[in-house]
Homo-oligomer: A and B are copies of this chain.
């Protein structure tokens, strides 16, 4: 068991690491040549332009103004200064609500920490159980343990304090959760109400249009809605399977990048034309002139794209039995989205259309039966992934040890036997296999969600977050606590009685406090500080800048502002909620470490959201029910674990008092679900009617049909227009005002960031880049 000194040392190391990251960030962000790495959001919004356009030559790259270094911590107040309404306007509601999760952590745990330190710590401290058992059993203990529940003697009356505290913490958590749910629901409704006109307010996605021998899908949809929603139907767009086309466009884009690269290379060294090989990854095949080859390839692809585009538009096989149906009023759309259309509930399925940039186009026409089967397959696959992922990892590890390598590749023996390399292989290789798996995990989970057939990027991320949370719960939390692989746990769960499991976990919880304190410091303190440094985007940006960037547009594409990453970020926060709630009663010492995490993360992510991230979509905080639900689960889990611990501590009389807590908590959850969840799922008719009436009064002659006609066109076809726009712009005199152009892009999502006109300062940029 670690002593205060050990913890202090670990804390020191992590605090220093975090500080180093923060200072590095403080300095790097002041350098003009990093400006696009640390402030991409402002560039995308057109509110900041390259600092390279003015001033002395050196100062374009390095900040020589010593005064700015004094104020290098300025970003902290800056990040906090922006008020929430402005933040919503600036970065969208999703981001603002996401920040509220951290804030919720503070709201829950600050009073809990104060209460725990004021009441529980003295109660725990003023015992001598551990000192006695040290004297008798020669048991080692540390000061940390003296502050925990372990220091209370068996069967003591003092446990009633812990039970009362468990009640207090539960009530406070529930109270805060309810407040927050209410607040977020109001924010969401207000956001939706005060929004400008958006196509998704009028549009419903219709899936599983039944095949008809006499009519095309488009005619069929039109007839159906003209008959069944005669007063409200306006227009529709049939979904087209343009996946192949999208692939070709992507390929062309990549070839264009290579062409840029070779052209830049050639322009720097005119003596030698760059060569390439035509085979796999440019590693084998005939050697040819690179620029000519890529130009020819692009030519070929352009033609193929044009052909495919024609084919897609005419081939009935490419027309999917799904359509975006638009209505004359929001009321009509709300009605259609919430009702069943046809006798057969698997045909004419309607749901709200996500906003156009949130649509995940590939999944739009999966038939109903296939969906059920896909869910089954993914559920089984995820089960195996969670509980048996250690089998392949362990087999890779066993392959990657010294003996394994020597047996399979004897010729490597002389190298491996070098002491330094040997210790490296032994120490690092097994870990690497696991690490690689963990890095790839979110991608695997995302692929699972895509396979399962979700229709919007936001729901894909939400489902991945759920799976990641479950995985973390078993493979990070429980694996540490019960000290066995998830597979072993599965065995335990099957062969231990339901009354035994909370005991096993409950007893293990106080013993693992030190480990989790260290975990919080590494993952939660240094990790979050590392997030703000953006090391990977920094390096990639400069690499791209050097090799690929020819135009201002390219530079914009190179920025990679990233986004919040709900599917990995939220499960991480949830793990902290779980730890905080579980340790609150058992080891109150733990709580301050969590508080530091929540405060630091809030600060860092607020800064990132304001200056860096560019959300790909706006779901208006649709993820809050998930967040709320998982905190409730953590709360119930902590109550069960406490009950298990209490029974082993000779306080079995407390069980009836403790069993009330989960029952009440679960009913609290059901109440909240009924009371607030509909705000995240449905669209009240009253609201719709109000907006319709207002709009009719304001703009009586609005041409809604024109507005909605092309709102839900596959992005590939949008790019077509953009490409044409681009050529058109390029041909025009470059008189387009930059701010105006950018303003129009205010709502342009990342996926279409390749759009936009060329920059006026093209030659300059190339010149500058060549100075690196």
The residues of A with any CB-CB pair to B shorter than 8 Å are: 189, 224, 227-229, 231, 334-335, 338-343, 345-346, 348, 368-369, 372, 375-376, 380, 493-500, 663, 667, 670-671, 674-679, 682-687, 689
Contacts and interface: CB of A to CB of B under 8 A. Distances in A.
B346 A674 contact: yes
Nearest to A189: B343
Nearest to A224: B686
A340 B674 contact: no
A229 B685 CA distance: 9
Given A231-B231, A345-B679, A372-B667, A685 B496 contact: no
Given A675-B368, A689-B228, A682 B499 contact: no
A675 B345 contact: yes
Given A229-B685, A231-B231, A338-B338, 19 more contacts: A228-B689, A335-B339, A338-B339, A339-B684, A340-B678, A341-B684, A341-B686, A343-B679, A343-B686, A345-B674, A345-B676, A368-B675, A372-B667, A372-B674, A375-B670, A376-B663, A494-B497, A495-B497, A498-B498
Given A498-B498, A674-B372, A663 B380 contact: yes
A678 to B, nearest CB: 4
Nearest to A683: B340
A671 B498 CA distance: 30
Contacts of A340: 338, 678, 682-685
B227 A689 contact: yes
Contact of A494 (B224, B346, B372, B498): B498
A494 B670 CA distance: 25
A345 B678 contact: yes
Contact of A497 (B346, B368, B369, B496): B496
Contacts of A676: 345
B682 A339 contact: yes
A362 B493 CA distance: 46
A684 to B, nearest CB: 5
Nearest to A346: B675
A339 B342 contact: no
Contacts of A689: 227-228
| Copies of this protein in the complex | 2
A208 to B, nearest CB: 12
Contacts of A499: 494-495
A685 B334 contact: no
Nearest to A666: B376
Given A372-B667, A674-B368, A343 B498 contact: no
* Leading 5 A-B pairs by shortest Cβ distance: A345-B678, A340-B682, A494-B499, A338-B339, A495-B497
A47 B507 CA distance: 75
Contacts of A341: 684-686
A683 B676 CA distance: 25
A671 B369 contact: yes
A145 B325 CA distance: 65
5 contacts: A228-B686, A229-B685, A340-B685, A368-B674, A372-B667
Given A231-B231, A372-B671, A684 B338 contact: no
Contacts of A372: 667, 670-671, 674
A349 to B, nearest CB: 10
A487 to B, nearest CB: 15
A353 B249 CA distance: 55
Nearest to A348: B686
B346 A686 contact: no
Q: Which of A496, A670, A677, A684 has the most CB of B within 10 A?
A: A684
A496 B498 CA distance: 7
A372 B679 CA distance: 18
A229 B334 CA distance: 12
Q: Which of A338, A339, A346, A500 has the most CB of B within 10 A?
A: A339
Contacts of A231: 231
A760 B675 CA distance: 59
A462 B135 CA distance: 64
A281 to B, nearest CB: 42
Q: Which of A231, A376, A682 has the most CB of B within 10 A?
A: A376
B687 A343 contact: yes
Nearest to A339: B338
Q: Which of A335, A342, A675 has the most CB of B within 10 A?
A: A335
Nearest to A493: B498
A370 to B, nearest CB: 11
A633 B364 CA distance: 33
Contacts of A345: 674-679, 682, 684
A685 B332 CA distance: 13
Nearest to A369: B671
A296 to B, nearest CB: 52
Contacts of A667: 372, 375-376
A671 B376 CA distance: 10
A675 B349 CA distance: 11
A498 B499 CA distance: 11
A380 B664 CA distance: 11
A338 B350 CA distance: 13
Contacts of A334: 339
A586 to B, nearest CB: 23
Contacts of A671: 369, 372
A338 to B, nearest CB: 4
A681 B429 CA distance: 57
Nearest to A340: B682
Contacts of A678: 340, 345
